[in-house]
Chain A
Amino acid sequence: MAAPAMVTAASIAAAVRAGTTKAADLVEQHLAAIAAREPEIHAFNLVLADEARAHAARIDALAAEGNDPGPLAGVTVALKDNMCTRGIPTTCSSKILAGWKPPYDATVVRTLQDAGAIVVGKTNLDEFAMGSSTENSAFGPTRNPHDISRVPGGSSGGSAAAVAAGFSHFSLGSDTGGSIRQPAALCGVVGVKPTYGYVSRYGLVAFASSLDQIGPFANSVEDAALVLDVIGGHDPHDSTSIPQPHPSLVGAIQQGVEGLRIGRIADLPAGADPDVQARLDLAFETLQAAGATIVDVEVPAFSFGLTAYYLIAPAEASSNLARYDGVRYGLRVEAADTDSMYGATRTAGFGDEVKRRIMLGTYALSAGYYDAYYGKALKVRRLIHDDFERAYQQADVLLTPTSPSVAFKFGAKGDNPFAMYLCDTYTIPTNLAGHPGMSVPFGTGAEGLPVGVQVLAGTLQEPTMFRVAAALERSMK
């Protein structure tokens, strides 16, 4: 596979700002990498070669005129195809949105482009971000760049594969139950789910609104920090975005981990493969050797996360996806009256997994079952949140596996939906709590495939989380 460029996004942007590197050349390098390997990887739903070249020319012109093209000048980015791009198709890898061109840009798209980042394409995902392998895409799966017989993880599999294959310097994904961290682990790149509300979601197509969050995939902890420093912050268009500035994460990662308390969850649900567990054990030893203290904590409700999530997320999804009715955008299957048209459109437009979750969510919210299922799941969510808060009184961060296994083969989870859901055992509770989490590559496991270690922290404790991730990364060099 193409070795990721061992230069940081910051140094690339500095060279483009100084005029010593041309954004146009960077774009051509990435388009060449895409031309060479995209046919076997299928990271993209759409490659934006003309748009990327035009944007690069504008950035090079700005630099030549002595103007500043921004802190991400010439740095290339791939966007998960559930983020709106004005006039450019945004599909969510669903037939129901095939060909739809949004009338506005997501805030993250605007912010990145204003900072000089160049969008090279829209990446593949499990339909509406529902899945853990990208096998649920209506446009065919993405393949893992480390072994094309295996999945890249999901749902942001295209974004993870794009960075791992060297198609772009970094990418954006969305994480509702692990959809950034799990594919990052399986593809051997850094992936961050920030605190709920850290990054604007205006223009992110909604899946489960109390859980969804945008975050980066990158080749290094530093690159991920830089991207979050650019896209983090309040947005008047997203009332759930936190109305306060965030401290610089690039500034935080230079500090070591001496004196930090690293929590080991004593009652973590079993299920991690031995090769993954061995890497986690080594991560604890590594941080201890770097001056951190290891403490045992308990998060008793952690093990109920999966069950609570698979009522809460489908319930929210069933409501959010009610908007796809063939009236205002996307697919319409014509019928004699509106009601028949709704059913015909939705039945033809949604794939099996999306239908399954809409059904489960509608059931959980329906009269007679609301208290028994959805109401109880919300109470379990409270338990999970409170258990984490207690754990963070004793530990600054928690360390877990990101994924129970390395990348698995296509079709390995068969027709049993719950087998696929188990992929997110270790990532889901964080979304329910609203806390940040990130996956950092930490060596290899079975078959020489990448293993990720997950670093979790309390609300807005990203600086500490990044310090720990950076220490693990440094130990691998």
Chain B
Amino acid sequence: MSDRITAADVAKVARLARLDLSTQEIERMTAQLDGMLEHFADVDALDLADVAPMTQPFPLVNVFRADVVRPGLDRDEVLAAAPAAQDGRFRVPPTGGVEG
């Protein structure tokens, strides 16, 4: 195993991604991610100093639509697809106070 990515890195990333991985899964994932990052060595060998990054196939321009009122999605239909709803809103468990 190289030092490209450690089990501690993977555990931290899993936390950022809100995935609860077991110790065993973290070990397996560490090996797999390390294997994939190994292929990146080819790219690391390239001289990219003068290359501009490309984020989109086409240059993005800001797009405005006419400032007119249009119907949105039907609220009841949207809430009907939610796991829980109450009084015209999404219902969730208590927030906050759990993170250290």
Q: Which of B13, B32, B39 contacts A366 (CB 8 A)?
A: B13
Are A376 and B57 in touch, CB under 8 angstroms?
no
Q: Taking the nearest CB of chain B, how far is it from the CB of A181, in angstroms?
A: 17
CA distance A242 to B83 in the complex (A): 36
For this complex, into which size category does the number of interface residues on chain B fall? 35 or more
* Cβ-based interface call for A327 (8 A): yes
A346 touching B19 in the complex, CB below 8 Å, given contacts A210-B56, A329-B81, A366-B13: yes
Closest chain A residue to B83 by CB distance? A332
B82 contacts A359, C-beta separation under 8 Å:
no
Complex CA gap A201/B10 in Å reads 33
CA distance A417 to B32 in the complex (A): 8
**Interface SS of chain A:** helix
The verdict on B8 contacting chain A, using a C-beta distance below 8 Å, is: no
In the bound complex, residues from chain A placing their C-beta under 8 Å from that of B69 are: none
Task: For B10, give its contact among A311, A359, A433 (CB under 8 Å).
Answer: A359
Q: Determine whether the beta carbon of B51 is less than 8 Å from that of A382.
A: yes
Q: Are A327 and B90 in contact (CB under 8 A)?
A: yes
- Give per-residue flags for A334-360: 1 if the beta carbon is below 8 A from chain B beta carbons, else 0: 111111111110110010000110111
In the complex the two chains form, is A343's CB within 8 Å of B90's CB? no
Report the minimal beta-carbon distance from A197 to chain B, rounded to whole angstroms. 6
- Inside 8 A of A101's CB, which chain B residues have their CB? 80-81
A103 touches B81 (CB 8 A): yes
Of A242, A331, A334, A382, which is in contact with the most chain B CB atoms at under 10 Å from its CB?
Answer: A382
Q: Is A375 interfacial (CB-CB < 8 Å)?
A: yes
A356 touches B29 (CB 8 A): yes
CA A417 to CA B35, docked complex, whole Å = 9
Total interface residues in chain A, CB < 8 Å: 69
- Closest chain-A Cβ to B9's Cβ sits at a distance in Å of 7
A434 at interface by CB-CB < 8 Å? yes
* B63 contact set on A, CB distance < 8 A: 239
Instruction: Please report the C-alpha to C-alpha distance between residue A378 and residue B43 in the assembled complex, in whole angstroms.
Output: 11
Q: Decide: A196 and B20 in contact? CB cutoff 8 A.
A: no
Contacting residues, chain B, for A240 (C-beta < 8 A): 56, 58
**Complex contact A378–B53 (CB within 8 A):** yes
- Whether A102 touches B36, Cβ cut-off 8 Å, given contacts A355-B19, A359-B14, is no
Q: Which residues of B contact A358 (CB under 8 A)?
A: 17, 19
Chain B residue at minimal CB-CB distance from A364: B37
Nearest CB in chain B to that of A325: its residue? B18
Contact status A334-B19, CB under 8 Å: no
User: What is the CB-to-nearest-CB distance from B47 to chain A, in angstroms, rounded to a whole number?
Assistant: 10
Interface string of B30-74 (1 = CB under 8 A from A): 001101110110111010100111111110000101000000011
B88 interfacial contact with A, CB 8 Å: no
Residues on the A chain within 8 Å of B95, using CB: 337-339
In the complex, what distance in Å separates the CA atom of A304 from the CA atom of B44? 11
- Interchain CB contact under 8 A, B52 and A382: yes
Q: How far is the CA of A173 from the CA of B93 in the complex (A)?
A: 37
Answer whether A342 and B18 are a contact pair too, CB < 8 Å, given A334-B93, A363-B9, A418-B35: yes
Closest CB-CB distance, B54 to chain A, in whole Å? 4
Contact in complex: B5, A363 (CB < 8 Å)? yes
For A382, list chain B residues within 8 Å (CB): 51-54
Bound state CA distance, A100 and B14, in angstroms? 26
Q: Are B13 and A363 in contact (CB under 8 A)?
A: yes
Asked whether A359 lies within 8 Å of B13 as measured between CB atoms, the reply is: yes
Do A326 and B83 touch across chains, with their CB atoms under 8 A apart?
yes
Residues in A neighbouring B18, C-beta threshold 8 A = 322, 325, 339, 342-343, 346
Q: Which of A197, A308, A359, A377 contacts B19 (CB 8 A)?
A: A359
- Given A307-B39, A325-B18, A326-B83, answer yes or no on A335-B58 (Cβ-Cβ < 8 Å): no
Query: Is A115 part of the contact surface with B, judged by Cβ < 8 Å?
Result: no
Contacts of A380 in B (CB 8 A): 43, 46, 48
Cross-chain contact B54 with A359 (CB below 8 angstroms): no
Per-residue interface assignment for chain B, residues 1 to 26, with 1 indicating a CB less than 8 Å from any chain A CB and 0 otherwise: 00001000110111011111100000
- Asked if B99 is at the interface of the complex by the 8 Å CB criterion, the answer is yes
Chain B hits for A236, CB < 8 A: 65
Instruction: Given A338-B95, A380-B46, output 9 extra A-B contacts at Cβ < 8 Å.
Output: A103-B77, A329-B82, A337-B95, A340-B93, A358-B19, A362-B16, A376-B46, A378-B55, A383-B46
* 11 A-B residue pairs with CB within 8 Å: A101-B81, A196-B57, A327-B82, A327-B90, A337-B94, A338-B92, A347-B20, A363-B5, A375-B53, A376-B44, A459-B57
- Enumerate the 6 nearest inter-chain pairs by beta-carbon distance, A residue then B residue, closest first: A434-B57, A378-B53, A332-B83, A382-B54, A196-B57, A379-B51
Q: Could you list which residues of chain B lie within 8 angstroms of chain A, going by C-beta atoms?
A: 5, 9-10, 12-14, 16-21, 29, 32-33, 35-37, 39-40, 42-44, 46, 48, 51-58, 63, 65, 73-74, 77-78, 80-84, 90, 92-99
